[in-house]
Chains A and B, each alone.
Chain A
Amino acid sequence: MKGDIGKQVLEKIERERVRPYSKWRFVFRRSVMWGLFVLSLILGSLASGVMIFQLTHADWDLCHHLHMGYVTFLFHVLPYFWLAFLVGFTAFAYFYFRRTERGYRYPTVWLISGSVFLSLIGGGIAYKVDLAERLEVILRSNVSIYCRMQEMRSRIWVAPEKGLLAGEIVDVQSANKIRLKDFKGHTWQIELKDTLWRGRLKATKGLKIKVIGRMEGRNVFVAKEIRPWQGHGWRRFFRHGSGPGRGRCGRPDGKSPGRWGHEQK
């Protein structure tokens, strides 16, 4: 080695007035990394909370009706929008944890599965305390694009040849006959014979319903069971008067709001 590196370094430090960075700079950086990691986990928890909410309120009994396995049905009802968010926030959580003081020591698979696990735990809590439902309500009420995305998942119900129909009651003709306009704009004569009405519903004009039964002719559908458009999990939604009927989710086709999922108390 030619010169004395130690002396050269000290001279340069003095000449260029190099000073050690303040320890607060490092404390701040560490805090930012931990803060962003925790924030990613919280947002991941909210995403998984809404996922849990949507999955628990999916019509799982349709599996038998549609002759589908649970896995196949899961692919139909999986909330891909929130799944994408969960994946995104898990990636952020991984990224920021890796940048903490000793985050690099943990294997990637541990960090990712740990982040997903924590998000699911947080999501379970968010679901339990109704935070997930509130978020869903707020988004459905205020974000039209979110509404339309969610309604895509409801298309499973517009399959009369498979015995599923959903739409709005346009006319109550008698105790055994109603007319229903489905989400594609097609009008059906619904025959009510020993029909099971779930959710304490009563045939009312403007009510949005889901019908399980069988198609008998081009415009005739025999109803075995009728359900409210949104199940019992949406009670708070309507009680607070901020349901889709009053917000952006007025109709599945995005037109004027109606009385979505009107339930009788």
Chain B
Amino acid sequence: MVDYQELSDEELVKKSLDDREVFYYLIKRYESKLMRYINRIASVTHEEAEDLLQEIFIKAYRHLNGFDQRLKFSSWVYRIAHNEVINFAKKRKRGTALIHASNNGDTDNMVLDNLAGEDDVHGNFVAMESREQVWQALMELPLKYREVLVLKFFENKSYREMSDILRKPEGTVATLVNRAKKKFLKIASKYQLEGILQ
């Protein structure tokens, strides 16, 4: 009897191609991570986030044969998530409005909770006094800058992983992170959040 939870992502991918039920274990491994990621980079309602998540996993399943074993599965599935969020924003034709929209209700609280999660938040963020202000400052950033900050400081991705997710050279990613930090600090000064990201 195979204990699927013991298998690596790559082994699960291979087995999922023969038995789609195995794909369930991959979904379980990534559903909460990807849900957090979606909520952090796009202001969407809970229902929209769930729909997006479903689409991401279905797209991942369709493209399983295209998974490059030289990459980490996590980078690959985050890349799909990144593309789906961008497509979602375009489809709704709200583009900037979607990604700059002020959040409210459940999603707001959920994102703020995620921001404060001990397991994945960068030290400087943990130390912040006003989670809501950080969230607002982050949401004022254009998506491309917000996304790199989220990947670097919230998802703790390396530059190589970020390069694989965003399909950009590592140097470009590092430049984007630096620019994003500068822009964030500029916005953060409005909320007296200086010191964050330094």
Residues of A within 8 A of B (CB): 1-3, 5-10, 12-14, 18-23, 25-26, 101-102, 104-108
Contacts and interface: CB of A to CB of B under 8 A. Distances in A.
Contacts of B17: 20
9 contacts: A1-B32, A10-B21, A10-B24, A13-B20, A22-B65, A25-B66, A104-B163, A105-B164, A105-B169
Interface string B58-71: 10011111101010
Interface of B: 17, 20-21, 23-24, 27-28, 31-32, 35, 46, 50, 53-54, 57-58, 61-66, 68, 70, 163-164, 167-172
A9 B65 contact: no
A13 B168 CA distance: 31
Given A12-B58, A107-B171, A20 B68 contact: no
Contacts of B66: 21, 23, 25-26
Contacts of A104: 163, 167-169
A213 B115 CA distance: 82
| Majority-rule SS of A interface residues | helix
A106 B46 CA distance: 37
Contacts of B172: 107-108
Contacts of B63: 20-21, 26
A105 B160 CA distance: 9
A5 B163 contact: no
Contacts of A2: 46, 50
Contact of A106 (B35, B53, B169): B169
B65 A5 contact: no
B50 A21 contact: no
